[in-house]
Structure 1
Amino acid sequence: MKVLISGASVAGPALAYWLHRHGFEVTVVERAPALRDSGYAVDFRGAAFDVLDGMGILEEVRGHETMMRGTDLVDDEGHKIGELPAEAFAGDLEVPKRELTAILHRLTAGRVRYVFGDSISRIAQDDSGARVEFERGEPGVFDLVVGADGVYSTVRRLAFGPHERFVRHLGMSGVGFTTANHLALDHRGVLQSAQGRAVYLFSAADADRMTVSMSFGTDSAELDLMERDRQEEIVRERMAGAGWVVPRLVEDMASASDFLFSSACQVEADRWSQGRVVLVGDAGYCAAPTSGMGTWQALIGAHTLARHLAASAGDHAAAFLAYEEELRPYVVENQKHGREAVAMFGG
């Protein structure tokens, strides 16, 4: 059975690994020209460890642990007023996302076909298969198409409908990037939250650099789709008047090569499959970054989907149904946590 997966972050390569292991022929297409080398740290809990162990990469992933020691809570002037334990953000194991992405790609690159710098433009399906057209490459016919391409999934838009039907904005947006470690943070974070906005800073893997997250209340997730100049303008407007190190961070933002603007969103879909097309990870059931569960939810989702496809004897409809019935209660609980956590970050 030939499977096309859109997205080469976490859910896509993880699913590709398990499908190949079960004898499927897999192609992964990724819009970015190369493997993405950005993103916040990601953490793991519970059943995600079983998935990593089953892939044979648990110890390698552990080797990149950030070793965070907690987060200081500070007031408007940067004075410490409290503390959160490392587990509040880091889970049972935390690693830089770029390291996890690199490990998953290395694990699968010799087993499945990767196509970078391209994206799906059309999907037409019938009883014989799904004919897929691409923005650059030649069209192809696949038995199944998987959307593992994030909150603003191209596959979901083409097969299920426009983004506004599925993307639920949680009232918060923000910017992330790395800059010089002005505060000399050492495997530690700092969180300032007041007046509908929050600043979270931490340094772990590289002592000379720190990761910056500045978030604030917003009315729409459409900001995510705007040009960078407009996004920077919004950040400056929303962070105006803030003290402590915020003015310097706003200045650093303009020259950041890893600038990322995103909103706290959840994806809510009545069903995760449509014919021969199925969604996995954030494309189908994003729990919001504030949940701290997106990565391990993607890993568990990929493993669950692959397991049911392998056991279905070619009946993809039955496999999709079993996948959703097993995973949806878990997703519902994670999305609840995501909504509850927004208040901490300024939403």
Structure 2
Amino acid sequence: MSRTILISGASIAGPALAYWLHQHGMTATVIERAPELRLGGQTVDLRGAGRTVIERMGLEKAARERVTHEEGLRFVDDSNRVRASFGADALDGDGFVTELELLRGDLADLLYQHTRDDIAYVFGDEITGLTDTGAGVDVTFRNGADRRFDLVVLADGLRSRTRDLVFADIARTRSFGLYTAYFTIPRTESDDRWARWFNAPGRRVVLLRPDNQGTTRATLSFLGPYSGLDRLKVPAQQDFLRRHYADARWETPRVLAAMGDSPDFYFESVGQMRLEHWSRGRIATVGDAAYCASPLSGMGTSLALVGAYVLAGELSRHSDHHDAFQAYETIMRPYVTQAQNVSWFAPRLASPKTRTGIRLLHTVAGLAAGPRLSRLAGRFATPPADAIDLPAYRHSEQAGH
């Protein structure tokens, strides 16, 4: 079905959607505000239906060639003693770490390389205006000339500015009171193939994860009665982190010392996007822009890939875009609802306030990692990544073969 479709955002959902639209005979253009593909970011996993979509794209082998080879997650104390350990094969392979762990940038690059020959990518520009005329969408850009498209899909993240041009009145962000900083630091002898999780009193977490590039990915997460930290400039954010973590033990001083020289520092307020409707007229949303479930859910990548697959598939099935958008939402809503069912207490349980609470966390985690309770723990720790019956679209099964 011949349609011209503009996609805003070249991370995960955008390129995946462009791929499937092309498979169904539609013409996609992807616009990205950054001057080039953004290759930074932490580790993401391919699990459940998201992995199935990657398989249907013919990319499973290529994805496996880019895995971080992370062997699992260990909870450690001030002296780096292991208090609980979850291997990549724990919880039936779908626990904290899976066999298909990739850097977010590697997955984005994989999708881009797989689509760049068939899809028009425009970097260094962004949408500044959207006018749905009924017959099409007139789009104005910060740098490029005005253009008209049959449809527009917004796939540019939780903080999407373009979404606010259309959906600001029905968009609601759910906050967890959690802030997280992500950045890359040099690897040292203490870093191995295991992710290490350290809790400091005051609801502070330091997480170090191996990558496949000879460096280490650091995460600083904390809860507290703070507001507006994500709107500060990077130097101010880093100054706050140095003060906030100044007395934290373990390898925290090393992390703070390397933070200022990191090439990919990113700081965010962790939240979910609750959008009343995912489309309006000829404009739709997909991925985090529509239904970010937060990193706490473990479902962000699956939602992006599955949402892109279903949206493109329903557009191929329906000549009326209203029917296609409605079908897409009907299929995806239950999956999204389960993914967003993250308790407000979850980050508080994972980041205790006191040393006594940390010792209790280590005890509970140690028991959960044991053979007797691991299956029960898996019921609570495993994201509902398979909780959807993926439709089979006519052209999709042959894609990538």
Same structural fold, with TM-score higher than 0.5 when normalized by the shorter chain: yes
Label 1:151 to 1:239 Cα distance change in 2 as closer, same or farther (>3 A): same
Structure 1, 26-35 or 213-222: larger mean CA deviation = 213-222
SS class of match (1:20): helix
**Paired letter, 1:149:** D
- Provide the residue aligned with 1:254 in structure 2: 260
- 1:8–1:29 Cα contact (<8 Å) kept: yes
Counterpart of 1:267 in structure 2 is 273
Number of the residue aligned with 2:340: 335
Cα distance, 1:129 vs structure 2: 1.0
Q: 1:147 aligns with which of 149, 154, 163?
A: 154
Deviations, residues 178-214 of structure 1 (Å, cap 9, x unaligned): 11223532211110124211011021313x4211001
What is residue 355 of structure 2 aligned with on the other side? none
C-alpha displacement at 1:76, in angstroms? 3.2
Structure 1 13/150 Cα, relative in aligned 2: closer, same or farther at 3 Å?
same
The answer for the alignment partner of 1:178 in structure 2 is 184
Asked if structure 2 preserves the Cα contact closer than 8 Å seen for 1:197 and 1:345, the reply is no
**Structure 1 residue 275: deviation in Å?**
1.1
Contact 2:41 2:105 in 1 (8 A): yes
Deviation (angstroms), 1:237: 2.7
Residues in 1 aligned to 2:234 and 2:11: alpha-carbon distance in whole angstroms? 22
Which of 2, 5, 20 is matched with 1:3 structurally? Answer: 5
Larger C-alpha radius of gyration, 1 or 2?
A: 2
Following superposition, the deviation at residue 218 of structure 1 comes to 3.7
How is 1:180-259 mapped onto 2 (pairs within 5 angstroms)? 180-195=186-201, 196-206=203-213, 208-219=214-225, 222-259=228-265
Matched, 1:317 2:322: yes
How far 1:117 moved relative to its partner? 0.3
Q: Give 1:307's aligned residue.
A: 313
How much has 1:126 moved relative to structure 2?
1.9
Report the RMSD for the aligned CA atoms in angstroms: 1.8
Per-residue deviation at 1:65? 1.9
**Further displaced range: 165-174 or 88-97:** 88-97
Structure 1 alignment gaps of length 5 or more: none
TM-score by length of 1: 0.94
| Runs (5+) with no aligned partner, structure 2 | 89-93, 353-401
* Identical-residue share of aligned pairs (%): 39
SS in 1 for 2:253: helix
Counterpart residue number, 2:175: 169
- CA distance change for structure 1 residues 302 and 44 in 2, over 3 Å: closer, same or farther? same
Give the aligned length.
Answer: 344
Q: What is the CA distance between 1:96 and its match in structure 2?
A: 1.6
Secondary structure in 2 aligned to 1:38?
A: coil
Provide, for residues 235-276 of structure 1, a one-character-per-residue CA deviation record: whole Å limited to 9, x for no partner.
Answer: 123212111211221121111111111121100011111111
Residue type of the partner of 2:332?
L
Whether 1:281 aligns to 2:287 is yes
Question: How far apart in 1 are the matches of 2:184 and 2:290?
Answer: 29
Aligned counterpart in structure 2 of residue 294 of structure 1, from 273, 292, 300: 300
Deviations 1:267-293 (A, max 9, x none): 001111111111100000001012121
Indicate the residue corresponding to 1:119 in structure 2: 126
Partners of 1:8 and 1:30 within 8 A in 2: yes
Inter-partner Cα distance in structure 2 for 1:338 and 1:209:
33
Residues 13/159 of structure 1: CA separation in 2 closer, same or farther (3 Å cut): same
Decide whether the 8 Å contact of 1:6 with 1:28 is kept in 2: yes
